[in-house]
Amino acid sequence: MSNRNIGPRRTVNWNGEKHRQHHVGASMIIGGVMLLFVVGVAIVSLFWTPYNPTQVVSGKLEGFSAAHLLGTDRLGYDVLSVIMVGARTTFQVGCIAVAVAAIIGVPYGILCGMTGEKTGRWLTRWNDVMQAFPPLLLAIIFTAARGQSTLTAALALGLGSSPAFARVARSGTKQVMSREYIQASRAAGRSSRYIAWRHVLPNIMGMIIVQLSVNFGVAVLAEAGLSYLGLGTPAPQPSWGRLLRDSAAVIYTDWPLVLVPGIAIAWTVLAFNLLGDGLRDYLDPRLEEQS
- The structural domains of the chain, ordered by start, are 23-290 (1.10.3720.10)
Percent of the chain with pLDDT over 70: 87
Model confidence at 38, pLDDT cuts 50, 70, 90, reads very high
Instruction: Please name the helix (run of DSSP H) or strand (run of DSSP E) that holds residue 144, with its range, or none.
Output: helix 135-146
Quote the pLDDT of residue 119. 67
Quote the pLDDT of residue 129. 74
Quote the pLDDT of residue 24. 58
Quote the pLDDT of residue 42. 93
Percent of the chain with pLDDT over 90: 20
Model confidence at 16, pLDDT cuts 50, 70, 90, reads very low
Residue 36 in this model has a pLDDT that exceeds 90: yes
Q: How far is CA 46 from CA 36, 151, 265, in A?
A: 16, 19, 20
Residue 17 in this model has a pLDDT that exceeds 70: no
Quote the pLDDT of residue 125. 76
Quote the pLDDT of residue 263. 93
- pLDDT digit string (tens) for 184-235? 888 888 888 888 888 888 888 888 988 998 899 988 988 888 888 888 888 7
Quote the pLDDT of residue 41. 93
Give the best-scoring range by mean pLDDT among 41-45, 66-70, 183-187. 41-45
Quote the pLDDT of residue 139. 81
Please state the rounded mean pLDDT for residues 134-147: 80
Residue 172 in this model has a pLDDT that exceeds 60: yes
3-class DSSP state for residue 78?
A: strand
Of 267, 256, 101, give the one whose Cα is nearest residue 169: 101
Quote the pLDDT of residue 86. 92
Of the given ranges (19-23, 149-153, 179-183, 211-215), which has the lowest mean pLDDT? Answer: 19-23
Model confidence at 40, pLDDT cuts 50, 70, 90, reads very high
Question: Greater confidence, 161 or 19?
Answer: 161
Give the best-scoring range by mean pLDDT among 13-27, 92-106, 172-186, 273-287. 92-106
Query: CB under 8 Å to 264, separation ≥6 — which residues?
Result: 38, 83, 86, 87, 240
**54 — phi, psi (to 5°)?**
-110, 10
